[in-house]
């Protein structure tokens, strides 16, 4: 599982903060592609436009967001990965077997795999990485609660090990498909202790290896000719990949249209029509991953009272938000699944657009003259005092804040806080906020979203950002991890959706749309295969993969 | 030498004896803006924050029309109303800033120029330090470190005007401090304070008055620049902020130029009026260009 | 000689004062730990986090007192070591950021200044020659208008007309392009800064020229029968040029400020836009380095102009 999530708005330019979820989605194949008979050509440098740069590519410590995960996917291989049917299939790992009660998982690595620096891949490397990750104060938060203190991973031999998760989880391998499953060279991890600047020069097992980097300018990887997968999976065609962080979505669009980029990703829905109208570009849009919502801190007054949370939802003009800020793209969200998903619960809709209802609830709440623990009154002049914050500076985020103000001012006295991205994330993590816009969920295995939802994930830094603890919810999550049958699992997930709704800790707004756009010279993005021949997903929540990509001239 | 000569004949450079029609036109405009700024909430203006979404017209921004004189922005907010409300912060900051600058800088300058000695040395050094920075850089630096509301932003800009105002006040005071009538007053036994108030200030006030208008123009522009970059009053409508909203995305500027251009027009006319009126005052009083 | 030494000493004092004030303000009012550590920086109840926080503080010298930190920074700075950015790896070093971006700003300011000077001199001469006539009044009004238009408004208008509507200039600045196209991309930003400045120069020079033209020696030249042009360019312009050059030099500071706006609107990665970005990111070493560079440039230019002036007019040395 991967740590920390994104704060920020949907349809926006880079507002996004550290990392994303382990959120594979089945991205449809691009609308048109080169005819399958065209033979791949070896050679060329792929220029990739990313929405942000990264500080470092250390799977054990770096908070990796979409951009970071895209880069990481080139130099690291995950132990497991998702196929187009949503199953976690072996990749760097050769196989995995559960015990009958799903409490012990025996994993076998492939023989003969070497890291880019020549170190062999062994059980010791995986265990070392696991322990370092677990002890990291940030990334470790996604790992620690799920394993016992000792013997979490036990070595059997140089290629075999046993995982001992705390609870039964029939879908355990899905946790090893993202950051936790990207295995880095132990030699490199040791060197990092002495020289942290090496974080920018990752050493993994991947089809590409680090070549050079100029921060905020370009990071270059070149083909790894000793890649273990060449014989088992297939050749890597690109000579090199150059990653360009381009934070402004307009600029990214211009660059690909001026042939300065070959492929890019974006969540800025304003750009989508431009891409579609351009016949030289191949565009693939997917909104089955994350959702954008208003996130409410349930541990702090006034939003510790469910009436106030509900009032906020009722006061929000969700339709208006969608009309103004989504440019007609994507879909409004009532819950964390789209109607395409088998887990979609048709009985759950997100309330909104009901100012009178909001006023009634606020009147009832304020009528009790509520105060918080410090004795500070929560209402002034019959309206609830609250704070809304966001990551700035961003013209779009400010417009959105102004819009929310219009919605809420009838029942709330809103204090607005534009904070630096750093401060915004910090305060969200530490629970020093009332309401913030956020992006989350969308894990291909919905059970993996548990890290944002369980009671055990509330702490100093809380991955359960709204700090909402509900034992019934935790019980449901256990059932989802270890169901009596797949059908029952679907039922449990749908109950979880209902539970999330009933907590009113989230006001769901829209499903985030990711567009992957490439020129017509780029081929093979969606031709990735696992060692066992499974077809693998094209992209996951904006994360792109390049092992099978090739360029025509 | 009656043909067009290189030397400009003296009659051509005439110090106008009256302020002129242009001057009063400018004063009226500034007065109008001030009136709107003060009474905006009671005037029959549309709400500046409401979203006038109109599905019949499609997606915003809507072009200028009878219902929206200046059109709407991308969130269907009325640009005319917002441009009027923008005058509030922009003018208030400009006015407060130059007032603060005058009060503090002017006082410091007059005292330094009159008493001279170590007071003069210290404040002159202070002025030079303040002037050692390009003012925009300093303004950005200071506003980024504080809570940005109307008062604090005005004070920051006021701080920046202390040095130029102070230097002018000092120079003007120096000019008069050694004049005969001052010496005469001292002979009679008038206190320093009396001399400053009765003799120096009235004379210094003349060059300073034109500086007041010019200084306010500079402050309004400075606030606009800060707002444009995102460093002005945090939750408020400003001309600079409106211009930023209208020009930040190339597409917006290209397809809906009215969002940025109307605030630009308002700002331009206001600054032009202040500049012109200030300049007219200066030529009227025949002030030489002192060290500014 | 004493005068020069005094002025240099004053300049150094000035820079020290600027550095102290900036350093103090930045350090008191901001906390860079987040850039280095992420949310861990605020997780003060967790023993693991506390260890990491202590380590980071030690590495970036944040655990020492303010005056000590100031001296550490100062001694590094004068040796050319601007320190490291506040990020988890300290990469890239601040000097790297600066050396990459400073040349762009310098080119921009230089282009703007060149444009302003080349335009304002002929403009002023023509206006002075036709002083009082319609064309002069028109050009005065033009100058007024330009000065009243804030530079960010000019930038938006220029971008709208020339980049978006006419498509004559590119919209984005590409760092990898060859020199010629990069200079072309700097054209609009240079105009943005240079146009209002040209207007200011023109007004000053025109006034100066008119005053000079009223002097007796001009009258003498006229009676000697020298041509109008010769009088203008050779006899009138030269004395006026001194104060002109002074103003040009002193105005460089305003140009640097203008570059912040131009770089932001036209998205040029120079130190102006970097300053704004770094402030938003609480990346203090970068902010400090840029502020010091700008202040130093400003002070040095003022110094040079002062010295040049004393060579021309010895009375000033008093």
Is the Cβ–Cβ distance between A336 and A449 less than 8 Å?
yes
Q: Which residues of C touch B144 (CB under 8 A)?
A: 279-280
Is the Cβ–Cβ distance between C151 and C193 less than 8 Å?
yes
Nearest of A516, A547, A484, A521 to residue A25 by alpha carbon: A516
Helix (H, G, I), strand (E, B) or coil at A245: strand
* pLDDT at site B148: 84
Whether the per-residue pLDDT at B83 is higher than 60: the answer is: yes
Terminal C-alpha separation, chain A: 39
**Record: contact B234-A418, CB cut-off 8 A:** yes
Q: Which two tokens stand for residue C200?
A: 């200011």
Q: Which residues of A touch B74 (CB under 8 A)?
A: 324, 399
| CA distances in angstroms from A42 to A36, A116, A535, C10, listed in the order given | 16, 21, 21, 65
Phi/psi at A285 (5° precision): -120, 135
* pLDDT at site B291: 34
ipTM at complex level: 0.83
Nearest of A15, A19, A26 to residue A136 by alpha carbon: A19
SS (H, E, C) A194-229: HCHHHHHCCCCCCCEEEEEEECCCEEEEEECCCCCH
Host H or E run for residue A265: strand A263-266
**How far does B131 lie from chain C, in Å, by closest CA?**
10
Vertex A293: Cα angle to A471 and A453 (nearest 5):
20
Buried/exposed code over A14-39 (b: 16+ C-beta within 10 A; e: otherwise): bbbbbbbbbbbbbbebbeebbeeeee
Q: Is the dihedral of CA A136, A141, A143, A147 positive or negative?
A: positive
Crossing angle of helices C151-158 and B239-247, in 10° steps, is: 20
Residue scoring higher pLDDT (C88 or A281): A281
- Does C1 contact A at CB distance below 8 Å? no
pLDDT of chain A, 553 residues: tens digit per residue? 333 344 433 333 333 333 333 333 444 444 444 455 578 899 999 999 998 877 778 999 887 888 889 999 999 999 999 999 889 999 999 999 999 999 999 999 999 999 999 999 999 999 999 999 998 888 888 899 999 999 999 999 999 999 999 999 999 999 999 888 999 999 999 998 888 778 889 999 999 999 998 766 789 999 999 999 998 999 999 999 999 988 888 888 988 988 889 999 998 888 899 999 999 999 999 988 899 999 999 999 899 999 999 999 999 999 999 988 888 888 999 999 999 999 999 999 999 999 999 999 999 999 998 888 888 889 999 999 999 999 877 888 888 999 999 999 999 999 988 887 777 888 888 899 999 999 899 888 999 999 999 999 998 888 999 999 999 999 999 999 999 999 999 999 999 999 999 999 999 999 999 999 999 999 998 899 999 999 999 888 889 999 999 999 7
Chain segment C164-206, per-residue pLDDT in tens: 888 777 766 666 667 777 788 888 899 999 998 898 888 888 8
Q: Which residues of C touch A61 (CB under 8 A)?
A: 88
- Does C40 contact A at CB distance below 8 Å? yes
Query: Worst-scoring range by mean pLDDT, B164-178, B239-253, B255-269?
Result: B164-178
Nearest CA in chain B to A319: B53
* pLDDT at site A481: 93
Is the Cβ–Cβ distance between C127 and C139 less than 8 Å?
yes
Residue scoring higher pLDDT (A171 or B128): A171
Nearest CA in chain B to C292: B133
Is the Cβ–Cβ distance between A521 and A261 less than 8 Å?
no
* pLDDT at site B14: 52
Q: Which of A137, A217, A251 sits opposite C267 (nearest CB)?
A: A251
Q: Which of A200, A420, A430 sits opposite C39 (nearest CB)?
A: A430
Nearest of B218, B228, B108 to residue B157 by alpha carbon: B218
Q: How far is the C-alpha of A86 from the C-alpha of A489, rounded, in Å?
A: 15
**Record: contact B249-A250, CB cut-off 8 A:** yes
Helix (H, G, I), strand (E, B) or coil at C25: helix
Mean pLDDT on B121-134: 80
**How far does B252 lie from chain C, in Å, by closest CA?**
10
**Record: contact B133-C231, CB cut-off 8 A:** no
Chain segment B184-230, per-residue pLDDT in tens: 777 787 777 777 777 778 778 877 888 888 889 989 999 999 999 98
Terminal C-alpha separation, chain C: 12
Q: How far is the C-alpha of A205 from the C-alpha of A126, rounded, in Å?
A: 12
Q: Which of A140, A260, A426 sits opposite C34 (nearest CB)?
A: A426
Q: Which residues of B touch C128 (CB under 8 A)?
A: 8
Vertex A386: Cα angle to A385 and A390 (nearest 5):
155
Query: Which residues, in sequence order, are CB contacts of C68 under 8 Å at separation 6+?
Result: none
Strands A208-214 and A522-523: unpaired
Q: How far is the C-alpha of C165 from the C-alpha of C13, rounded, in Å?
A: 50
Is the Cβ–Cβ distance between C59 and A197 less than 8 Å?
no
Mean predicted lDDT score pLDDT of chain B: 83
* pLDDT at site A214: 74
Q: Which two tokens stand for residue A158?
A: 């140089």
Is the Cβ–Cβ distance between A508 and A479 less than 8 Å?
no
**Interface of chain B toward chain A, CB-CB under 8 angstroms:** 49-51, 53, 59-60, 74-77, 230, 234-235, 244-245, 248-251
- Does C226 contact B at CB distance below 8 Å? no
**How far does C99 lie from chain B, in Å, by closest CA?**
19
Q: Which of C49, C89, C100 sits opposite A56 (nearest CB)?
A: C89
Where would I find the H helices in A179-332? 186-194, 229-232, 249-257, 272-277, 306-315, 318-325
Whether the per-residue pLDDT at C90 is higher than 70: the answer is: no
Residue A417: how many other CB atoms lie within 10 Å: 19
Helices and strands counted in chain B (H then E)? 12, 0
**Record: contact B59-A327, CB cut-off 8 A:** yes
β-bridge partners, A208 = A223
Q: Is the dihedral of CA C258, C259, C264, C265 positive or negative?
A: positive
- Kindly list the partner chains of chain B, i.e. chains with 3 or more CB atom pairs below 8 Å: A, C
Q: Which of B4, B134, B243 sits opposite C152 (nearest CB)?
A: B243
β-bridge partners, A442 = none
- Within chain A, what is the greatest distance between any pair of CA atoms? 73
Residue scoring higher pLDDT (C13 or A469): A469
Nearest CA in chain C to B288: C207
Q: Which of C48, C175, C282 sits opposite A420 (nearest CB)?
A: C282
Buried/exposed code over C258-293 (b: 16+ C-beta within 10 A; e: otherwise): bbbbbbbbbbbbbbbbbbbbbbbbbbbbbbbbbbbb
Residue B253: how many other CB atoms lie within 10 Å: 22
Count how many pairs of residues, chain A against chain B, have C-beta atoms within 8 Å: 39
Using left for φ > 0, alpha for ψ between -120 and 50, and beta otherwise, residue A234 falls in left
Q: Which residues of C touch A140 (CB under 8 A)?
A: 48
Chain segment B252-279, per-residue pLDDT in tens: 888 899 999 999 999 999 999 998 888 8
Nearest CA in chain B to C16: B129
**Record: contact B276-C26, CB cut-off 8 A:** no
Is the Cβ–Cβ distance between A302 and A372 less than 8 Å?
yes
Q: How far is the C-alpha of C172 from the C-alpha of C185, rounded, in Å?
A: 8
Is the Cβ–Cβ distance between A402 and A416 less than 8 Å?
no
Mean pLDDT on B90-119: 88
Q: How far is the C-alpha of A352 from the C-alpha of A350, rounded, in Å?
A: 7
Q: Which of A140, A197, A251 sits opposite C91 (nearest CB)?
A: A197
Q: How far is the C-alpha of A76 from the C-alpha of A181, rounded, in Å?
A: 9
Nearest CA in chain C to B257: C160
Q: How far is the C-alpha of A76 from the C-alpha of A59, rounded, in Å?
A: 9
- Does C210 contact B at CB distance below 8 Å? yes
Nearest of A251, A248, A201 to residue A76 by alpha carbon: A201
Vertex B244: Cα angle to B238 and B245 (nearest 5):
90
Chain segment C139-160, per-residue pLDDT in tens: 888 888 888 889 899 999 998 9
A170 DSSP assignment:
T
**How far does C42 lie from chain B, in Å, by closest CA?**
20
* pLDDT at site C153: 93
Is the Cβ–Cβ distance between C94 and C271 less than 8 Å?
no
Is the Cβ–Cβ distance between B182 and B194 less than 8 Å?
no
């Amino acid at each position: 599982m991967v740590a920390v999530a994104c704060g920020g708005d949907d349809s926006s330019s880079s507002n996004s903060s550290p990392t994303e979820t382990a959120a594979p989605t089945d991205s449809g194949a691009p609308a048109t592609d080169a005819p399958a008979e065209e033979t791949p050509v070896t050679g060329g440098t792929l220029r990739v436009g990313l929405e942000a740069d990264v500080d470092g590519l250390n799977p054990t410590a770096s908070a990796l967001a979409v951009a970071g995960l895209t880069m990481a996917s080139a130099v690291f291989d995950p132990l497991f990965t998702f196929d187009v049917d949503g199953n976690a299939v072996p990749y760097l790992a050769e196989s995995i077997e559960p015990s009958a009660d799903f409490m012990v998982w025996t994993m076998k690595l492939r023989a003969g795999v070497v890291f880019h620096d020549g170190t062999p891949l062994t059980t010791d490397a995986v265990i070392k990485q696991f322990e370092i990750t677990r002890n990291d104060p940030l990334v470790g938060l996604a790992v620690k609660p799920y394993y016992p203190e000792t013997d979490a991973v036990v070595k059997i031999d140089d290629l075999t090990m046993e995982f001992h998760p705390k609870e039964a989880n029939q879908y355990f391998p899905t946790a090893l498909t993202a950051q936790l499953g990207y295995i880095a060279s132990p030699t490199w991890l040791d060197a990092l202790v002495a020289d942290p600047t090496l974080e920018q020069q990752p050493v993994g097992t991947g089809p590409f290896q680090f070549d050079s980097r100029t921060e905020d300018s370009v990071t270059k990887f070149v083909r790894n000719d000793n890649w273990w997968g060449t014989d088992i999976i297939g050749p890597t065609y690109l000579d090199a990949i150059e990653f360009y962080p381009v934070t402004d979505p307009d600029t990214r669009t211009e660059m690909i249209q001026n042939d300065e980029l070959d492929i890019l990703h974006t969540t800025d829905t304003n750009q989508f029509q431009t891409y579609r109208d351009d016949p030289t570009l191949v565009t693939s849009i997917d909104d089955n991953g994350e959702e954008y919502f208003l996130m409410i801190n349930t541990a702090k007054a006034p939003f510790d009272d469910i009436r106030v949370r509900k009032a906020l939802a009722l006061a929000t003009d969700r339709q208006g938000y969608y009309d103004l800020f989504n440019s007609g793209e994507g879909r409004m969200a009532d819950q964390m699944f789209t109607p395409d998903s088998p887990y979609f619960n048709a009985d759950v809709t997100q309330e909104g657009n009901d100012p009178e209802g909001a006023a009634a609830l606020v009147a009832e709440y304020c009528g009790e003259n509520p105060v918080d623990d410090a004795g500070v009154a929560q209402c002034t002049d019959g309206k609830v005092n609250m704070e809304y914050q966001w990551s700035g500076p961003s013209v779009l985020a400010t417009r959105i804040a102004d819009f929310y103000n219009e919605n809420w001012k009838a029942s709330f006295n809103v204090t607005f806080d534009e904070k630096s991205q750093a401060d915004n994330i910090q305060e969200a993590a530490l629970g020093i906020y009332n309401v913030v816009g956020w992006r989350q969920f969308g894990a291909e295995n919905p059970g993996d979203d548990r890290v944002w939802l369980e009671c055990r994930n509330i702490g100093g830094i809380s991955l359960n950002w709204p700090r909402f603890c509900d034992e019934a919810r935790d019980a449901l999550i256990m059932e989802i991890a270890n169901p009596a049958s797949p059908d029952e699992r679907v039922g449990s997930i749908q109950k979880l959706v209902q539970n999330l709704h009933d907590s009113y800790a989230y006001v769901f707004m829209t499903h985030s749309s990711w567009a992957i756009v490439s020129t017509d010279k780029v081929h093979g993005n969606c031709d990735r295969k696992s060692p066992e021949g499974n077809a693998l997903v094209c992209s996951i929540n904006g994360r792109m993969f390049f092992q099978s990509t090739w360029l025509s001239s | 030498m009656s043909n067009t000569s290189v030397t400009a004949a003296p009659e051509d450079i005439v110090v106008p004896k009256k302020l002129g029609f242009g001057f009063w036109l400018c004063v009226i405009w500034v007065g109008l803006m001030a009136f709107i700024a003060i009474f905006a909430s009671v005037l029959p203006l549309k709400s500046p924050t409401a979203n006038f979404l109109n599905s019949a017209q499609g997606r915003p921004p809507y072009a200028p029309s009878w219902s929206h004189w200046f059109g709407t922005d991308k969130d269907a907010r009325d640009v005319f109303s917002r441009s009027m409300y923008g005058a509030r912060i922009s003018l208030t900051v400009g006015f407060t800033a130059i007032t603060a600058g005058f009060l503090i800088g002017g006082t410091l300058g007059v005292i330094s120029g009159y008493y001279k000695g170590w007071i003069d040395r210290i404040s002159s050094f202070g002025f030079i330090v303040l002037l050692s920075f390009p003012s925009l850089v300093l303004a950005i630096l200071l506003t980024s470190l504080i809570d940005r509301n109307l008062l604090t932003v005005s004070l920051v800009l006021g701080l920046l005007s202390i040095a130029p105002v102070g230097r002018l006040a000092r120079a003007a005071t120096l000019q008069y401090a050694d004049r005969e009538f001052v010496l005469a007053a001292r002979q009679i036994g008038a206190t320093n304070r009396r001399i400053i108030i009765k003799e120096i200030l009235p004379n210094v006030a003349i060059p300073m008055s034109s500086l007041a208008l010019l200084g306010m123009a500079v402050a309004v522009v400075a606030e606009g620049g800060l707002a444009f970059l995102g460093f002005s009053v945090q939750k408020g409508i400003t001309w600079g902020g409106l211009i930023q909203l209208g020009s930040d995305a190339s597409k917006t500027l290209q397809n809906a130029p009215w969002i940025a251009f109307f605030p630009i027009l308002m700002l331009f006319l206001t600054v032009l009026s202040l500049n012109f009126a200030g300049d007219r005052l200066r030529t009227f009083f025949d002030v030489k260009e002192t060290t500014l | 000689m004493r005068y020069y030494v005094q002025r240099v000493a004053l300049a150094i004092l000035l820079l020290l004062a600027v550095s102290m004030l900036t350093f103090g303000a930045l350090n008191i009012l901001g906390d860079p730990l987040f850039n280095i550590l992420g949310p861990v920086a605020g997780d003060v109840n967790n023993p693991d986090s506390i260890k990491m926080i202590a380590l980071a503080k030690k590495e970036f010298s944040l655990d020492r007192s303010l005056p000590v930190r100031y001296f550490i920074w100062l001694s590094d700075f004068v040796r050319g070591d601007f320190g490291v950015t506040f990020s988890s790896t300290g990469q890239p070093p601040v000097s790297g950021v600066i050396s990459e971006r400073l040349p762009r700003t310098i080119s921009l300011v230089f282009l703007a200044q060149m444009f302003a000077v080349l335009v304002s001199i002929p403009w002023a001469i023509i206006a002075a020659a036709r002083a009082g006539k319609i064309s002069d009044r028109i050009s005065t009004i033009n100058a007024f208008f330009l000065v009243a238009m804030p530079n960010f408004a000019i930038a938006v208008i220029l971008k709208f007309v020339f980049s978006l509507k006419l498509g004559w200039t590119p919209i984005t600045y590409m760092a990898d392009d060859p020199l010629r196209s990069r200079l072309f991309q700097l054209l609009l930003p240079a105009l943005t800064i240079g146009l209002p400045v040209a207007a200011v120069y023109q007004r000053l020079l025109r006034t100066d020229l008119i005053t000079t033209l009223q002097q007796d020696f001009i009258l003498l030249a006229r009676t000697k029968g020298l041509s109008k042009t010769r009088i203008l360019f050779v006899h009138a312009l030269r004395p006026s040029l001194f104060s002109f050059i002074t103003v040009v030099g002193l105005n460089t500071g305003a140009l640097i400020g203008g570059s912040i706006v131009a770089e932001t609107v036209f998205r040029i990665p120079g130190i102006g836009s970097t300053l704004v970005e770094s402030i938003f990111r609480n990346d203090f070493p970068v902010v400090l380095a840029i502020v010091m560079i700008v202040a130093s440039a400003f002070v040095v230019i003022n110094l040079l102009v002062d010295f040049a002036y004393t060579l021309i007019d010895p009375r000033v040395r008093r």
